[in-house]
Amino acid sequence: MSEFAAELRTLIDDLVSAEGGTAGDVDPLRLWERLRELGLHRVGLPEERGGSGGSLDDLVVVVEALASRGVGVPIVETSVADWVVGHAQPLDDRLTTVVLLDTSTAPTDRGPGLPVVPWGRHAQRLVLCAPGRPAQAVDMAGAVVEPGENLAGEPRDVVTLTGATPAELAGAPSYDAVRQRLGLLWSAAVVGAAQGAYRLTKAYVAERRQFGAPLLEIPAVASGVAQMRVGLAQAETALALAREAVAAEGETPADVNVSESAVATARIMTAAAATDIARLAHQLHGAMGVTHEYPLHHCTRRLWAWRDSVAAERQWAEELGRQAAAAGEHGVWTRLTATAY
């Protein structure tokens, strides 16, 4: 666990509050500027490469804390893109985003464009990662951007590269390592958004009165609150497992395999919790929760968008299941019990 966790959480809470408090009032780009001024966008990257220092664990705390307030800023994408670039060259001020490609074919100007580029319209540089190929970076100047949005209304644009040719990033982490770091950070984001949805719901059912008493007095409502709580506990535990597994190995790409299953586990468990928590949060909020004015949707739409971001829950589950089947019961058990956690 990050030794700065409490401090970082307070810092982010104060920042979000200063920018308007509830997610609906916060301008994500303004908040992003504030985060950049403070260097929070590059926590977990070494100072000698232009980062802000601190550990990956500290970054996890930052991502989770921002998400728990229901705000979406490009922290996951840019911190991973910067991490990749930082292996090859010192970081500059350009906003860099990252895209995982399914195939090993490089995008060309004749191609159909890259779908789902996170924050593409704001990005000045793009990192491209494909299985079995070195990562590449390309300047976005001259790129054609067709705006799109994910379920939470965050930019997910179609980008067609017309100008610069992508250049290899020497010494960059492997595709699997990038995917794993994204997996860990998206898990943290989902946990944060789930905490936010839970906090709002708990407060709502304690305040809102029907039949002469708070909703929480209705046993089925109390049961729903408890189910949200245990789902959240499960997601938080899965995230803790993954953080520890990744931290125990250091961050070198060569060590990826050992913590692979811990990250897959975190993605599966946080996604499953996202599904239950979003459903229950809306059910317990009644019609109030479906209005644009009430802040619940800032959390629940992010839960829906982020649970299947980069790779779907189902995909992680099939991968983990395939590994388990190949390892056999003995292998599964040995792996599970290899550590205390």
Contacts with other proteins by CB under 8 A lie at: 202, 206, 216, 219, 222-223, 225-227, 229-230, 233-234, 237-238, 240-241, 261-262, 264-265, 268-269, 272, 314, 316-326, 328-329, 332-333, 336-337, 340-341
**55 or 323: CB nearest other proteins:** 323
Least separation in angstroms between residue 38's CB and other proteins is 31
User: What is the C-alpha separation between 39 and 51, in angstroms, rounded?
Assistant: 8
Least separation in angstroms between residue 120's CB and other proteins is 31
**37 or 340: CB nearest other proteins:** 340
Beta-carbon contacts of residue 291 (< 8 Å; ≥ 6 apart): none
**152 or 225: CB nearest other proteins:** 225
**151 or 332: CB nearest other proteins:** 332
Least separation in angstroms between residue 307's CB and other proteins is 13
**30 or 314: CB nearest other proteins:** 314
Least separation in angstroms between residue 208's CB and other proteins is 14
**32 or 316: CB nearest other proteins:** 316
CB 16 within 8 A of CB 66: yes
Least separation in angstroms between residue 217's CB and other proteins is 10
Beta-carbon contacts of residue 190 (< 8 Å; ≥ 6 apart): 67, 235, 270, 271, 273, 274, 303, 306, 307
Ramachandran bin of 20, using left for φ above 0, alpha for ψ from -120 to 50, beta for the remaining angles: left
CB 71 within 8 A of CB 23: yes
Least separation in angstroms between residue 310's CB and other proteins is 17
Compute the half-sphere exposure of residue 280: CA atoms within 13 Å on the CB side of its CA.
28
CB 101 within 8 A of CB 130: yes
Query: Closest by alpha carbon to 68, among 197, 158, 213?
Result: 197
**159 or 216: CB nearest other proteins:** 216
Residue with tokens 């509830």: 22
DSSP 228: H
CB atoms closer than 10 angstroms to residue 90: 10
Least separation in angstroms between residue 9's CB and other proteins is 17
